[in-house]
Structure 1
Amino acid sequence: MSVPGAATHDPALGFAVALAAGAVAQVIARHLRIPGIVLLLGAGVLFGPDGLDLVRPEELGQGLHAIVGFAVAVILFEGGLNLNWKRLRREGTVIRRLVLWGALLTTAGGALLARTILGWSWTHALLFGTLVIVTGPTVITPLLRRTKVRHSVETILEAEGVLIDAVGAIIAIVALETLSSPDTMAVALGAAHVPMRLLAGAAIGVAGGVVIALALRFRHVIPDGLENVVVLALAVALYQVANALVPEAGIPAVIVAGLIVGNSRNSVGRELREFKEQLTVLLIGLLFMLLTANVRLAEIRELGLPGLAVVAGLVLLVRPLTVALCTAGSELSWRERAFIAWVGPRGIVAAAVATLFAERLDAAGDPAGHALRALVFLVIAITVVVQGPLVGPA
């Protein structure tokens, strides 16, 4: 409810503008046949403090974290929902390598680039390396719809985009928690926490996914017309409960739950997927509007040519080398390997975690958080803008 004489910058108005502008930007992008994130990044700047100053994410306070958590839960549940278990098993070797080895190789490559080109400390360079582990399923899926590739290539890229979000996000958070500590024992314990949190999240996801799948299978449990709403509520609740039980376990939990529900026998699969897909589009628009508005153009300009060189190194060196090593010995042709090497855009999870990093480092009195966030958004912008239009058939 508006109050006469209230401040000009109303958080509710900013939220509404972000929601509407995010939806409109994706409509325009669909007509122009370009990745929606391209226009969302521009719209975030346009309506943010560097532009019309209508969207001020900081005014949402802790509400921004709640919004991000809600949106990430829905987006990644939908990602798991679309994965086909039989195809995953068929391409399991390459997928496992990309998710596990790829995470380590990308971290090392990203850190080395930031250290040698930008001169960052090893701590900040490693944090950057962990932030660019994740690729973006919300970007990859639309790209794959616009080109012709074999099911094997499509499965590998979609699975990598979804599953590596869980691995990458947990590695990044654990790195933030441990690298700031001079205690080598803390670093060792932090490394052990990564598989522990992944396994705990997966176990919680299995339990939650089975409950949701059973509720959908027996139609008398959930009345007709309420299935989508109930599943949405349970997915968000599962994400928050998993995080409450084990820090950062929410992401693997909702991905695994989505995988179980999507591959179970129930009569509302198609309707559920359509509902989640539409809601995901809305939430992606909202999140990118809010998170991009948090980044100042001056911070990106300060990175200059060295920042562009880091991104070029990620795209032209780190990603191709990672894919070459992870696909060695597979049945993929050289064209398919080149296609996978080229398609590695970053998306919403990288943006969300980078924003969290900036806030935590800023609270600790470390000014490098803003440069870290700016570089990650530069990676997102360039990988989406450059890779999207140049994707061709494999």
Structure 2
Amino acid sequence: MEAIAAANWILLSGALLVLAGIASSLLATRFGAPLLLVFLAIGMLLGEDGPGGLAFDDFQLTYVLGSLALAIILFDGGLRTQAARMAGALGPAAMLATLGVLLTAGLVALAAIPLLGLEPLQALLLGSIIASTDAAAVFFLLRSNGLHLHRRVGSTLEIESGSNDPAAVFLTLMLTALIASDNAVTATQLLVQLLQAVLVGTLGGVLGGRTIAWALNRFELPSGLHPVLTVAGAVSVFGVTSVAGGSGFLAVYLAGLVVANRPVRAYANVLSVQDAATWLAQGMMFLVLGLLVTPSKLLVVLVPALGIALFLMLVARPVATVLCLAPFGFRRNEAAFISWVGLRGAVGVFLASVPKLVGLPNADLYFNVAFVVVLASLLIQGWTLAPAAHRLGVALPRRDAPTRRIELDLPGQLHYEMVGYRVAPDCAALRGVGLPSWARGALVVRDGQVLTPEQAGALRAEDYAYLLAPPGHVAKLDWLFVERSEGLEAERELFGSFTFDGSVVLRDIADYYGMLLPESVAGRTAAELFAERYEGAPQVGDRIAVGTAILMVRELEDERVTQVGLKFGSAALNLIADAAPQVGRPSIRQRLRRWRPRRR
């Protein structure tokens, strides 16, 4: 009976922890705190030095749970990366994920030798443990802050954070084996292990992703099992690849990438359940890590560990980032932001458990220093992520549409899904803005009756419109159904007071309004500029600074910019005031109206 009672208490405690995490997420969102810190704090409160008094030091279980959680998180990162977003970002991300990890580890080692009194090989092991950015922290904080970054910056960060863990894992395991064997492992053996890890991991990821996609499309499963199949398949890819001697972390990320870029059944359901699985995985990792740490032991290494954390944030990561991005033409503000988003998270503390498992000398030191570095990174970099993005000018002024979207999977159909919206009063769909060519109406629910598009005719306020659209394009329909009263202020802030057609040559705009334009863009249209800058897939709210003004995408048709907003800075307004129109000459506002196209 005591065993049954203990099991019940364990189940109750687990449920209460999940509920506490959900409640704390609301608090964290309100105050802008990184939610991952909340889970870490809960673990520390329950731990040995906290009110809970729970002594937990099972590093074997920690490694198993950490591997499972990291596999789910990396798969989720790959699952949300579209191939179109990788254009222009794959090269710099690969450089950061490989050479960047090596440079960061080496630079941190240089600081760890004098600060902690470690030998060079031991210092390099510490540098490898905290060298990689954490996919969980990066993905979560970017989404929770609602940041929309310039396409190449955002894609580089996401691909790097999802793919640099294999390099850090390999370095950590290699150096751990080297120290444990007293340098008995040769350089040739290490190189063979590296090649095997990369090649087998790549092969396992591609084959595993194809297998998961094939299984989703091949088997008629009961409702709700497709997401379960996907998560179990991802963990299986990780396990099989690791047993075969490859990098399971690389494989599971590539598997998600393959599934994301193939037509699969129930994709919306898979993403929805994956959100919950990733959230639980993140919470579990940080909760366990909070249980493992003993705050009283952190005080012994607090000062040198903070020194290493600051060196990592202000020197090692920026130097490695600048060197890796130099060949790819990133601007200084973009490179600065990428270096600042070198967030450390649970991966670093997870890797610090490897020396503990092997029983290396200074294993406690590695773990405690890694924990302080992660805590400092989340507090400093995590809390300043959004302000840094806006300060450095890499955040797009794009606001997510305040509308709820219903997505329905269509059995037997892989290229379309059904999406439903409530037609808000005075939304764009009611003001004459038509559907894109890739979407078509399916049915309309009006006053409790189900009507075909032909029977319904023009949409009315409070209708429920159901459309067919490709899965990757669904989010682009949201702006059609936003209530105008909710977006007027944001519209003025985003697009300015003036509008012109996207096909107008920018030199004509400059001549009329006294704008200073570089010759390289003066002869081009705004539509051409946006198509080049955003790899052929601009979205409403994307912007480009041109001379003394800012151009913003206002309307799209078939993914081509048709209307552009024009917003002037203070310098541009002074130039326009100096070039006031002569008597009898049309005013600026009148000229702008000439370019405003008639709505269909």
TM-score by length of 2: 0.60
Larger helix share, 1 or 2: 1
| Paired letter, 1:338 | A
Q: What amino acid is aligned across from residue 358 of structure 2 in structure 1?
A: R
1:319 matched to which residue of 2? 317
1:35 aligns with 2:28: no
What's the RMSD between the two structures over aligned residues?
A: 2.5
Residue 180 (structure 1) aligns with: 180
Partner of 1:44: 43
| Cα deviation 1:49-79 (Å, max 9, x = unaligned) | 11023654436x7544433332222111111
Distance in 2 between residues matched to 1:63 and 1:383, nearest whole Å = 25
2:217 is equivalent to residue 217 of structure 1:
yes
C-alpha separation in 2, matches of 1:27 and 1:187: 51
Q: Which residue of 1 aligns with 2:243?
A: 244
Whether the 8 Å contact between 1:136 and 1:161 is mirrored in structure 2 is yes
Compared CA separation, residues 271 and 378, structure 1 to 2 (3 A): same
Could you list the per-position Cα deviations for residues 329-349 of structure 1 after superposition, in whole angstroms to 9, with x for gaps in the alignment?
323221111111111111222
Q: Which residue of the partner structure matches residue 375 of structure 1?
A: 369
- Matched with 1:149 is 149
Shift of 1:291: 1.5
Residue matched to 2:252? 254
Q: Look up the match of 2:544.
A: none
> Measured at CA, do residues 16 and 225 of structure 1 come closer, stay the same or move farther in structure 2, by a change above 3 Å?
closer
1:229 correspondence with 2:223: no
- Contact persistence 1:171–1:194 (CA under 8 A): no
Note if contact 1:17-1:55 (Cα within 8 Å) is conserved in structure 2. Answer: no
**Greater relative CO, 1 or 2 (CA 8 Å, sep 6+):** 1
Alignment check: 8 A CA contact 2:129 2:352 kept: yes
Q: Secondary structure at the match of 2:164?
A: helix
Counterpart of 2:49 in 1: which secondary structure? coil
Stretch of structure 1 that moved more, 307-316 or 327-336: 327-336
Q: CA offset at residue 323 of structure 1?
A: 0.9
Report what 2:508 is aligned to. Answer: none
Give matches, 1:68-83, under 5 Å. Answer: 68-83=66-81
After TM superposition, the structure 1 stretch with the greater mean CA deviation from structure 2, 170-179 or 320-329, is: 170-179
Larger Rg: 2
Give the 3 Å change call, closer, same or farther, for CA 102–126 of structure 1 in structure 2: same
State the alpha-carbon separation in 1 of the partners of residues 239 and 364 from structure 2.
27
For the residues of structure 2 that align with 1:115 and 1:63, how far apart are their CA atoms?
Answer: 31
CA separation of 1:173 and 1:19: change in aligned 2, threshold 3 A? farther
Give the distance between the partners of 1:25 and 1:178, measured in 2 at CA.
43
CA apart distance, 1:153: 0.5
CA distance in 1, matches of 2:17, 2:191: 38
Task: Output one character per residue of 1:223-280: Cα deviation in whole Å (capped at 9) or x when no partner.
Answer: 443100111111112212222221x622111111111011111242232122112211
Q: How far apart are residue 304 of structure 1 and its match?
A: 2.9
- Indicate how the Cα distance of structure 1 residues 244 and 237 shifts in structure 2: closer, same or farther if over 3 A, else same: same
Q: Secondary structure at the match of 1:90?
A: coil
Change (3 A) 1:371 1:183: closer
Q: List gaps (5 residues or longer) in structure 1.
A: none
Question: Structure 1 CA distance, aligned partners of 2:235 and 2:162?
Answer: 17
The residue correspondences of 1:347-358 to structure 2 (distance < 5 A) are: 347-358=345-356
AA of the residue aligned to 2:115: I
Q: Distance in 1 between matches of 2:130 and 2:353?
A: 13
Number of residue pairs aligned between Structure 1 and Structure 2: 386
For residue 381 of structure 2, what is the aligned residue in structure 1? 387
Specify the code of the residue in structure 2 equivalent to 1:46. Answer: L
Instruction: Give the distance between the partners of 1:161 and 1:4, measured in 2 at CA.
Output: 43
Per the TM alignment, residue 213 of structure 1 is displaced from its structure 2 partner at its CA by 1.0
Q: Which amino acid aligns with 2:268?
A: R
Secondary structure of the corresponding residue to residue 186 of structure 2: helix
Q: CA 1:313/1:232 → structure 2, altered by over 3 Å: closer, same or farther?
A: same
Query: Partners in 2 of 1:2 and 1:162 — Cα distance?
Result: 44
**Matching of residues 222-371 of structure 1 within 5 Å:** 222-246=221-245, 249-361=247-359, 364=360, 366=361, 368-371=362-365
Q: Which moved more, 1:181-190 or 1:308-317?
A: 181-190
Deviation, 1:129, is 0.9
Contact 1:83 1:259 survives alignment (8 Å):
yes
Pair 1:65–1:387, CA change in 2 (3 A): closer
Shift of 1:359: 2.9
Task: Say which is worse superposed, 145-154 or 227-236, in terms of deviation.
Answer: 145-154
1:162 aligns with 2:133: no
Structure 1 counterpart of 2:253, one-letter code: I
Q: Quote the Cα distance in structure 2 between the aligned partners of 1:30 and 1:2.
A: 40
On the 8 A contact 2:75/2:256 being kept in 1, the answer is: yes
Deviations 1:281-324 (A, max 9, x none): 11211111112210111222111322211111100000110111
What is the identity, as a one-letter code, of the residue corresponding to 1:116? P
**1:169-197, CA deviations, whole angstroms, 9 ceiling, x for partnerless residues?**
12211221123323354354224312321
Per the alignment, do residues 102 and 91 of structure 1 end up closer, same or farther by CA in structure 2, a change over 3 Å counting? same
Contact 2:90/2:159 (<8 A) preserved: no
